[in-house]
A = this chain, B = another copy of it.
C-alpha cells in the first residue's frame, strides 16, 4: 500500500504532516505501507499515480482527478471542505474524508471567550482604546443570558458545553432539528426568525454549504436586538459582513468577533479592520498547534482500519449536504 502525503511549503509547522506521524497513526494495521511525501508545489506525480491513499492539508482537485485514479481514500487535514464541492473531480474509487471534530476543545474555549468578550463590551473598549477614549460601560454577568448557536456540530456542541459551565441558556439551530445534550432548545433553520429577536448572542459555527451560504443576511441580523453581539467561527460567506458592519456603525448591533474572512489573509485595505466594535481575529479560533495533525491523522488511521475490516468510514464528506 502506498500513502501519498502532500504538504504546503512555508506554512506554520503546526500544520506539517510528517511521514513519521502518519506511520504512528497507522501502527498496528495489518498492511505493509510505504509513504511518499512531497510539497504541493513539487508533486511526485509518479508516486501519486501509484498511491492508494492521499493525505493533505489543501487539495489540488484537478491533479487528484487526473493522477489519483488508484486512490481509495483522500483525507483532508482541515474540517472545512467547501472549496472542493461539488465532488465531480473525485476519482471514481475514492471517498473524501475531512477532519471535522478535531478542533472541538480549542474551539469550545474560544467560543466561550468570544461570548464573554461580547458580554463585557470588549469590542467597544478596544474601539475606545484606539482613540484614547475612556468610556465606562458596565455589564451584567453572562449567567442567564442566551446564545443561539447556528450549526451544532462538533464545534458548536463543544462551545455549548463550555458556555453551559457559566450558566448561559443555550439555543441551537440544526439542519436536522435533532436534540443535543447541551442545547436546551433546538430550532430547525426554517424557524431561525423565531429565535433571533430573543437572543443576546448569535454564534455561527456551521459548515459552508449551499444551504448556509448567506444564511445570516441583513434580514436575520436586523432581527437581533440592538444589544446583541455576533461571533463567526464558520466561514465568512455564511454572514453578510457588509450588513453587519452597517449595523455596527449605526449602533444597531453591539459588537462582533469575526475569526473568518474572504479572502484570507485579510488584505490591509479591507474595510473590516476599522469598523467600530468589530474584532478581527486572524482565523485562529479552532486550531490547537499541538496535536492538530495527530488528531487528524487519528481519523485517517481509524479509517484505514475500517477499510481493512470492511466497516463504514468516519468523517466521509457527503456531497449532497456539502460537508
Contact B284 A128 (CB under 8 A): no
| A2 close to chain B: CB less than 8 A | no
CB-CB contacts below 8 Å: A275-316 with B: 279-285, 287-290
- For chain A, which range describes its interface: under 10, 10 to 19, 20 to 34, or 35 or more residues? 35 or more
CB pair A137–B284 under 8 Å, yes or no, is yes
Residues of B within 8 A of A268 (CB): 132-133
Chain A contacts to B: CB under 8 angstroms: 12, 14, 105-106, 109-110, 112-113, 116-117, 119-122, 125-126, 128-130, 132-143, 162, 165-166, 264-266, 268-270, 273, 279-285, 287-290
- Within the complex, what minimum Cβ distance (angstroms) separates A110 from chain B? 6
Known A14-B138, A287-B138, A288-B141: A280·B130 in contact at CB below 8 Å: no
Q: Copies per complex?
A: 2
The complex places the Cα of A281 from the Cα of B112 at a distance, in Å, of 19
Q: Which 5 A-B pairs have the closest CB atoms?
A: A134-B265, A138-B289, A113-B116, A132-B268, A132-B273
Q: What's the least CB distance linking A254 to chain B, in Å?
A: 14
- Which B residues are CB-close (under 8 A) to A143? 105, 109
Residues B105 and A284 in contact, CB atoms below 8 Å apart:
no
* B113 engages A290 (CB within 8 Å): no
Contact A284 B139 (CB under 8 A): yes
The one of B113, B120, B269, B282 in contact with A136, judged by C-beta atoms closer than 8 angstroms, is: B282
Residue pair A138, B265 in contact (C-beta under 8 Å):
no
Smallest distance from the beta carbon of A88 to chain B beta carbons, Å?
32
The answer to whether A280 and B129 have CB atoms under 8 Å apart is yes
Which listed residue (B109, B136, B270, B280) contacts A116, Cβ 8 A?
A: B109
Residues of B within 8 A of A120 (CB): 109-110, 113, 284-285
A281 to chain B, nearest CB (A): 6
User: What is the chain B residue whose CB lies nearest that of A15?
Assistant: B138
Closest CB in chain B relative to A160 CB, distance in Å: 15
CB nearest neighbor in B for A166:
B109
CB distance from A51 to the nearest CB of B (A): 30
